[in-house]
């Protein structure tokens, strides 16, 4: 079974969609000016639906976030630099732990977002 889509509730649908289009290469599939709902695609089969929150006071649970995975630590560093140079606020420091190298920041609408490169899995010794 393949994950078809995710649906995020945000306070400003067009602003969040434009951010994802500009910084993460998503493609807007529907009316980019809709204040109610915009559908985006990552061009590889994943669909992200953004819908306007019914109540701006509602928040996601602590720890909730979305994550982008890349295959090279250099891409993590480049993306962080790009966001900082673009004026994105609240971009966190580079972290390295047993899971890999990552940083966190907030999308418009205060959704926590991670960009990470996982550590490669150890290669099992060959049995010759």
Query: 1-54 domain in CATH 3.10.180.10?
Result: yes
The CA–CA distances, whole Å, from 115 to 12, 49, 67 equal: 22, 20, 6
Closest listed residue to residue 23, CA positions, set 64, 68, 60: 68
pLDDT tens, position by position, 16-25? 999 999 999 9
Take residue 25 and report the two structure tokens written for it: 């290469």
Residue 31 has pLDDT above 70, yes or no: yes
Same fold, 1-54 and 64-122: yes
Domain segments of the chain as ranges: 1-54, 64-122
Residue 77 has pLDDT above 90, yes or no: yes
Mean pLDDT computed over every residue of the chain: 92
pTM here is 0.87
Residue 42 has pLDDT above 70, yes or no: yes
List of residues 6+ apart from 62 with CB closer than 8 A: none
Query: 64-122 domain in CATH 3.10.180.10?
Result: yes
Closest listed residue to residue 13, CA positions, set 124, 118, 109: 109
């Amino acid at each position: 079974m393949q994950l078809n889509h995710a649906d995020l509730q945000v306070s400003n649908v067009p602003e969040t969609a434009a951010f994802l289009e500009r910084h993460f290469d998503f493609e807007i599939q529907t009316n980019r000016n809709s204040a109610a709902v915009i559908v985006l695609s990552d061009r590889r089969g994943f669909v992200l639906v953004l819908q306007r929150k019914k109540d701006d006071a509602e928040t996601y649970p602590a720890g909730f976030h979305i994550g982008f995975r890349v295959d090279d630590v250099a891409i993590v560093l480049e993306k962080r630099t790009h966001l900082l140079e673009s004026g994105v606020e609240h971009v966190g420091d580079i972290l390295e732990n047993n899971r890999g190298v990552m940083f966190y920041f907030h999308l418009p609408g205060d959704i926590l977002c991670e960009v990470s490169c996982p550590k490669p899995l150890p290669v099992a010794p060959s049995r010759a």
